[in-house]
Structure 1
Amino acid sequence: MTNLIYSPEQLNAHSLDVIIVGSGPAGVAVAERLYQEHPSATIGILERGSVLTLNHISNIFPNELRRPFIDRFKIKPWEGGFQEGGMLLPALGGRGIAAGAHLRRFDKDDFKLWANGEWPDSVIKDFPDYYNDAELARRVSVSAIRGPAQTWALGLLNSFHAYPPPIGVDLWSEGGFEIGRGYDSSVSRLWKLLIQDTLEHENEKRRIYVATNAYVTKIEHKDSQVTGLRFLNTLLKPDNDPVLLQSKIVVLAASTIESARLFLHSQLAPENPIAGCYLAEHIECRAKIMVSPITREVQSQGVSVVIPPQKTDKIDPMDRFQIHLRGQPDRDGNLSIDIGGFAAMDPEPANCVTLSANRDIYGIPKAYIAISSSKSDEQRVKRMCLRIREIKDILGGKFITERFPFEEVQPTYTEEDKAIQKMDWGRSYHEAGTLRMGVNPKTSVTNEFGQVHGISNLFVADASLFPCVGIANPMLTITSLAYRVADHIKGEI
């Protein structure tokens, strides 16, 4: 019998070139790139969760069930600033199984905007090609929303350079019996890879092995080399001894917070004061408006629009926010539109991940998150909220946010009229930083290829590498950067 998923203990029977910690968007991107570009590499993936789905949740349920799904299966493992808003989905595919579909590239302006958050020149130079590869792999296309409502919204918001967002949804057919595959997700691409590997190789000669319920507790190292990973089978009692797994190269792709926690707990670079620092996320605000019927055609498909930062002669850091609109008509033709805003954060070393004095059930220190907004961040959010109000007026809508709060906890509003809700820290799920890349070991944790300074066989591939967070959904940039890291790893095996 052929098994595509292994138990943690079964992985020890195989000789691995690369072990990847995490099966989310970054981990899967590294695996698929290595599989495609290095025909002899053997790859192992360790996922702490189980299998919840082999597809994006939006390919299974309507959009209104996405939030209940997340609430049912999420965990809140962190202390401090992200304790209420942050979360993980411990499952094969990670948060990618329920991630938003907007897959926009980072704006070029953001790569060099902040003096203490500049991306390495070589990364910026390489990004266009890697973005192209990521868009092809993730089936990125322009939103298929058409009809009177979309035309109406784009026309009224034209002065803001509004446009239909690029989305990770396969909407086109290649002809014949081929059909669109729906929402892209890391888990569906990983499953395809596992089946492909099984078809091409016999069991004893397979190239990619995935173990679920494998919780990595520590990275063992000596001198300038990682010597192995300690991990536990979460289906067994918590007091079991960790298993040691070895490979030539280890890749951290467990998420911005969890990769930093594992890095700090393993004392991989105790002398590096940058490790865990420069945490950032998108400061998120949301509103809901109702617009009277604009057309007799009730089934007009609705609205899906993104509004980027406004172009001026000089880049204004206070304008580094993005607004997106999504809505559809009800039976009476009234248009209900969600308006969301993501504002960038200034790179600040005081925003950081450290180890808590409290431990999880396996005896591993929890992550403690210290985060606060700068004066510039607050100004940026204020300007973003003014833009949301301006959009509401242009569309002729009425705020109904208070009737439909976006969280189960007590909502926080930006003004007394309760028109715009400010989400809790961590709620964007777009955290970045903590193990930032750079060319100077004094101001970064890894080099420009994600290779940890001073440890030759340890790489980082998730959003913890980001020197700054930008304003677009980071998913496409995570995939692109992970491809680039994988290409460098290929030369190290």
Structure 2
Amino acid sequence: MDSYTAQTGETLRSVAYRMRLDIQKLLSLNPHIPNPDTYIAGQTVNLVRMIHIPIAAPQPPETDLKQWIPLTSLEEMSQTEYDVLIVGAGAGGPAVLWRLCQQWGLNGKRIGIVERGDLLIPTHSMNIPTLNASRKRDFYKNISYPLGKSQPEYPGASQVFALGGKTLFWSTASPRMHPADFNEWPISYEELTPYYNIAERVMNISKGYTQDSTITTMMLEILRGSGFPEITELPTAIDLTATKFGQVHSNALFSSIAFLGSALNQRPFDLAVNARAVQILSENGNATGLRVMSPDKKSYVIKAKTIVVSASTWETPRLLLSSGIPGKAIGHYLMNHSKIVATVKIDRSYFPEVLGTLFIWKPRTLIEPYQMILYGPDLERYLWYPVFENKEVLKEFDIGIETLGVVEPQFENYIALNHASVDAYGVPDIQVRFSYSEKDKAIIGKMLQATNHMVASLLGTIGAKNRQPELSFYVPGEDYHEMGSYRMGNDPSTSATNPYGRIHGISNLYVADNSVIPYSGAANPTLTTVALAIRTTDHIIHQLSK
């Protein structure tokens, strides 16, 4: 009660006595009653001091932000000349953006990035509470573009047109390429090592995801004693830091959206989605800008001093070929990994109650040009799953084995334009030519032997009885590791860019995606693509500082 209306016969002193209040305090709260012994019937007695504070009005928004990342219209971008303009937001493009923002800070230079797709999800799909492994798989299949349906020689190909691209769905497997792979590169392993270090740090890559897991520990022991001494925990791009002290770590599995978030908190940049790049504009050996189209087919020209194309192994040569950029090697030397997949049924009784997670890796060696990845339990079902999903107690469970082999670069494997068929924006569709060489087939034979050896080792120790393993060879493209169609090198007759990703013959046009990788190796390519993109960015920064 903040106040009281005095009754007949009451004084301020009697009110204080009855309510057990200090009379001096009551006098200070009621300066309109100077005498504590005067009758005050009908007067208001203040019991609590009134504190007068300003009324807080609802605060209006400071910007017109209506989505989870600030966007810039193509009309506005067409009125700006950018110091660097990036085309594509898969793995490479956002890595370039992040490095520019980190190195430049608030120096006044203008950075723009355009993405063909729309905003899909703001993080890796497995960071989303409503998706588990099976829903994530269906989600990917339903939103991706099935390029392979029109490519009989590369039927497994698919594309994701969205901010973040395939990094929204990738496995997070992040091994480095073997030093021996760099014998076929124009740069050495030692030259790329500092950029591997940077990429691993910013992507939170470690072997900690399955470390000390019961199933991982037991499987490593079994396989190391069965002829696979190199096998170890798989490096993965997963943030294992706990959320505390106000710092939120909700994006456990890495996607390139994390690059965008880090860049955004270092300096402003302009981003447009649903922006279809249709032509690189060039004049006298220099790129001058980019022609893009909106979904309503309105055309815009964005000017830039330097352009970095990171549109993917498929879309980068498509854009540059349709723009008339010259080069004998453009679109050629397409590679993927050959891939054998086995599924082995494991007897749960061999393991203690707490099973844990399996994600281990046998790297390639000098004499074994393939890597092997084991994952489970129950394939991807419990490799990662939402915390509130009920984990079924299994009597048996499946372990997946993926064996990825080196595929040599061949000029005869290529992406070309099909001028008889164009998309809605007038850009010619692509046509893929691909086949495995005799050397590739020999490696596939070795992969099969190694896979069968590993399967036999598991069946002979912890395998479920009377269960036959499943073994299959994936069609080209199903591994999603396409690369090489805009390969780097020193010779313009056998490469499309120089060792820094700069396109031969054009001083300010670069490529930073899987397509620049000149030799496939056996390792998953995303880490290497990011490391190369950061290296390319440092070169661009140096060139622009002259």
Indicate the TM-score class for this superposition, using the shorter chain for normalisation. 0.7 to 0.9
1:401-439 per-position Cα deviation (integer Å, ceiling 9, x unaligned): xx9xxxxxxxxxxxxx98311222111111111111112
Which of 350, 354, 367 aligns to 2:430? It is 367
Between 1:72-81 and 1:160-169, the stretch displaced more is 72-81
> Take 1:300 and 1:178, find their aligned partners in 2: how far apart are those partners?
30
Normalising by structure 1, we get a TM-score of 0.87
Select the structure of larger CA radius of gyration: 2
- Secondary structure of the residue aligned to 1:182 is coil
Aligned length: 451
> 2:439 & 2:454 partners in 1: Cα distance?
23
Counterpart for residue 301 of structure 1 = 356
Is 1:456 the equivalent of 2:525?
no
Match of 1:233 in 2: 294
Which one-letter code corresponds to 2:253 in the other structure? Y
* Alpha-carbon distance, 1:93 to partner: 0.7
Residue 47 of structure 1 pairs with residue 118 of structure 2: no
- Counterpart contact for 1:7–1:213, Cα < 8 Å: no
> Which residue, out of 325, 332, 341, partners 1:286?
341
DSSP-derived class of the 1:27 partner? helix
Deviates more, 1:72-81 or 1:89-98: 72-81
- Matched position secondary structure for 2:126: helix
**For residue 426 of structure 1, what is the aligned residue in structure 2?**
477
Q: 2: distance between equivalents of 1:360 and 1:254? A: 16
- Displacement of 1:366: 0.7
Deviation by residue 1:233-285 (Cα, 9 ceiling, x = unmatched): 12x1xxx342111110111100011101111111111xx32111111011122
1:55-79 Cα deviation digits (max 9, x unpaired)? 0001112223221111111013464
> In structure 1, how many angstroms separate the alpha carbons of the residues matched to 2:360 and 2:349?
17
1:100 aligns with 2:133: no
Match of 2:141 in 1: 71
Q: Give, in angstroms, the shift of residue 124 of structure 1.
A: 3.2
Alignment check: 8 A CA contact 2:317 2:415 kept: yes
Would the aligned equivalents of 2:80 and 2:303 in 1 still touch at CA under 8 Å? no
Q: Which residue of 1 aligns with 2:282?
A: 221
Runs of 5+ unmatched residues, structure 1: 113-117, 198-205, 404-416
Does the 8 A contact of 2:347 with 2:463 survive in 1? Answer: no
- CA spacing shift, 1:442–1:337, aligned 2, 3 Å: same
The question of whether the paired residues in 1 share the 8 Å contact of 2:86 and 2:112 is answered with yes
* Counterpart Cα distance in 2 of 1:147 and 1:139: 19
Matched, 1:355 2:420: no
Map residues 389-404 of structure 1 onto 2, 5 A cutoff: 389-396=452-459
The offset of 1:381, in angstroms, is 1.2
* Offset, 1:299: 3.2
Determine if contact 2:90/2:311 at 8 Å carries over to the other structure. yes
Distance 2:399 2:496 in 1: 42
2:253 matched residue in structure 1:
183
Q: Secondary structure at the match of 1:492?
A: helix
CA-to-aligned-CA distance 1:184-237 (integer Å, 9 cap, x gap): 11013213422443xxxxxxxx4x111000000111112201122111112x1x
**Residue in 2 aligned with 1:435?**
486
Match of 1:321 in 2: 370
Q: How far apart, in 2, do the equivalents of 1:355 and 1:266 lie?
A: 11
1:250 to 302, 307, 321: 307
CA distance in 1, matches of 2:235, 2:197: 13
Where does structure 2 lack aligned partners over 5 or more consecutive residues?
A: 1-62, 379-391
Q: Structure 1 residues 179, 214: CA separation in 2 closer, same or farther (over 3 Å shift)? A: closer
Of stretches 483-492 and 295-304 in structure 1, the one that deviates more from structure 2 is 295-304
| Counterparts of 1:37 and 1:455, CA distance in 2 | 24
Q: Is the 8 A contact 2:408 2:440 kept in 1?
A: yes
Question: Which whole-Å CA distance do the structure 2 matches of 1:150 and 1:418 have between them?
Answer: 20
> Letter of the aligned partner of 1:6 in structure 2?
T
The counterpart of 2:97, out of the listed 20, 27, 31, is 31
Q: Deviations over 1:84-138 (max 9, x none)?
A: 31111110011111111111111101111xxxxx2113x5332111000000100
Identify the residue that residue 138 of structure 1 maps to in structure 2: 203
Instruction: Indicate conservation of the 8 Å contact 1:385/1:420, yes or no.
Output: no
Q: Distance in 2 between matches of 1:277 and 1:254?
A: 16
Change (3 A) 1:444 1:151: same
Partner of 2:20: none
Which letter does structure 1 place at the counterpart of 2:286?
Q
Contact 1:296 / 1:333 at 8 angstroms: preserved in 2? no
Identity %, equivalent residues: 30
User: RMSD value over aligned CA atoms?
Assistant: 2.2
Equivalent of 2:232, from 148, 163, 183? 163
Contact 2:342 2:469 in 1 (8 A): no
CA distance in 2, matches of 1:96, 1:174: 23
Return the alpha-carbon distance in structure 1 between the equivalents of residues 416 and 377 of structure 2.
43
